[in-house]
């Protein structure tokens, strides 16, 4: 897909981190951006900077997502691009024993379900609704109607201790990429997924500098945290390379995560 001001994009999680970097990258090429996020303060500020629109959306909430698409399409038009970056994680063992008291507990199922609802069901909800909208568009030369990029994680393949819910949610995103690409192939809508390694985003900002340095040093090459602009560059490639479809790509400096 050739990018210009005739194209618009919805970026979930677009107020921060990987989503914000991708919004900047697309906007720099003229694309009109709509940011879907819970964080209104950061989202409004970035949308204003990029000349786009912010939509306060919770991807776990059907009505909220519907309202987001109504608002974004009224403001910047029917999107041909959807970038799914909204997501979060938790760190809880499946079952564990308290070292001091000996008390045994297990992963609370509501906390497992929440991560699945945000990362997996929320991603699918946005894909399904966006794809249905894209199908109303005339195809571009070559037959393409739209392009979708999802965000999984290397935890889909090498999840660490405590990451059962996160890895299940991201493994689900990886697993559904090919069948969704097949579902949408006749309509000219491509779907690809990025599995980021460890990126320097607000997710990690809370960690002390020595911890961030140590995390970066674990990466074989380059031995540093990923730059969100590097994620945005791959998302951009997945959107603009018309032959790339149904693919899951690790972007991780070749790191393979250890158990902890």
Catalytic machinery residues: 166
Alpha carbon distance 147, 255 (integer Å): 28
Closest distance between ligand NAD and the C-beta of residue 200, in Å? 7
- Best CA proximity match to 79, nearest among 41, 23, 124, 117: 23
Q: Are 33 and 11 in contact (CB under 8 A)?
A: yes
> Which has the closest alpha carbon to 70: 147, 145, 129?
129
**What ranges make up the beta strands (E) of the chain?**
8-12, 32-37, 53-56, 81-84, 95-97, 104-106, 146-151, 189-196, 248-251
Backbone angles phi, psi at 54, to 5 degrees: -105, 135
Q: Which is nearer to ligand NAD, 38 or 188 (CB)?
A: 38
Residue ranges binding ligand NAD (CB under 6 A): 12-13, 15-19, 37-39, 57-60, 85-89, 118-119, 122, 151, 153, 196, 198-199, 201-203
CA–CA gap between residue 185 and residue 144 (Å, rounded): 9
Half-sphere exposure of 111 (CA within 13 A, CB side): 12
Reply yes or no: is the peptide bond before residue 75 cis, omega within 30 of 0: no
CB 200 within 8 A of CB 219: no
| Three-state DSSP class for residue 250 | strand
| Residue with the two structure tokens 């990987």 | 18
Nearer to ligand NAD, 156 or 188 (CB): 156
């Amino acid at each position: 897909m050739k990018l210009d001001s005739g194209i618009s994009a919805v970026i979930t999680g677009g107020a921060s981190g990987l989503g914000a970097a991708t919004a900047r990258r697309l906007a720099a090429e003229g694309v009109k951006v709509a940011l879907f996020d819970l964080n209104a303060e950061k989202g409004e500020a970035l949308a204003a900077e990029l000349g786009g629109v912010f939509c306060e959306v919770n991807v776990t909430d059907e009505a909220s997502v519907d309202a987001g698409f109504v608002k974004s399409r009224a403001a910047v038009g029917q999107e041909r691009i959807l970038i799914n970056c909204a997501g979060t994680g938790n760190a809880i063992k499946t079952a564990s024993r308290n070292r001091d008291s000996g008390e045994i507990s297990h992963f609370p199922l509501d906390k497992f379900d929440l991560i699945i609802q945000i990362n997996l069901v929320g991603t699918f909800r946005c894909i399904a609704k966006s794809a249905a909208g894209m199908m109303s568009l005339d195809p571009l030369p070559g037959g393409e109607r739209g392009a979708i990029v999802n965000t999984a994680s290397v935890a889909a393949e090498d999840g660490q201790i405590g990451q059962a819910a996160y890895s299940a949610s991201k493994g689900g995103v990886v697993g559904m990429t090919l069948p969704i690409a097949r579902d949408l192939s006749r309509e000219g809508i491509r779907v690809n997924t990025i599995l980021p390694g460890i990126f320097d985003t607000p997710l990690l900002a809370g960690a002390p500098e020595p911890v961030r340095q140590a995390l970066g040093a674990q990466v074989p090459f380059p031995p540093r945290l990923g730059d969100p602009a590097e994620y945005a560059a791959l998302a951009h490639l997945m959107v603009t390379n018309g032959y790339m479809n149904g693919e899951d790509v690790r972007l991780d400096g070749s790191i393979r995560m250890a158990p902890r």
